[in-house]
């Protein structure tokens, strides 16, 4: 099952999701399993968020 959840609260995302896509300007800029996304923030937008 898939759910699209739009939020600015990364704590909620970490508790609910297995995999996350981060969007900026209408485009997906980063996508990974939640634990990998937190450990390896490869885009500037995710690091400052």
**Residue 46: what pLDDT?**
67
pLDDT reported for residue 47 = 65
Give the pLDDT confidence score for residue 45 in this predicted structure. 67
**SS3 of the chain:** CCCCCCCCCHHHHHHHCCEEEEEECCEEEEEEEHHHHHHCCCCHHHHHC
pLDDT at 29: 85
Given the DSSP bridges, would you call strands 27-33 and 19-24 parallel, antiparallel or unpaired?
A: antiparallel
Between residues 5 and 43, the one the model is more confident about:
5
Q: Name the nearest CA neighbour of 23 among 11, 31, 34, 13.
A: 31
Q: Does the pTM exceed 0.75?
A: no
Question: Could you report the per-residue pLDDT of 5-33, keeping only the tens digit for each?
Answer: 888 887 888 888 889 888 888 998 888 89
């Amino acid at each position: 099952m898939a759910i699209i959840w739009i939020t600015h609260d990364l704590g909620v995302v970490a508790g609910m999701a297995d995999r996350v896509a981060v969007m900026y300007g209408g485009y997906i800029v980063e996508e990974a399993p939640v634990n990998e996304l937190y450990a390896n923030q490869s885009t500037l937008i995710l690091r400052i968020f």
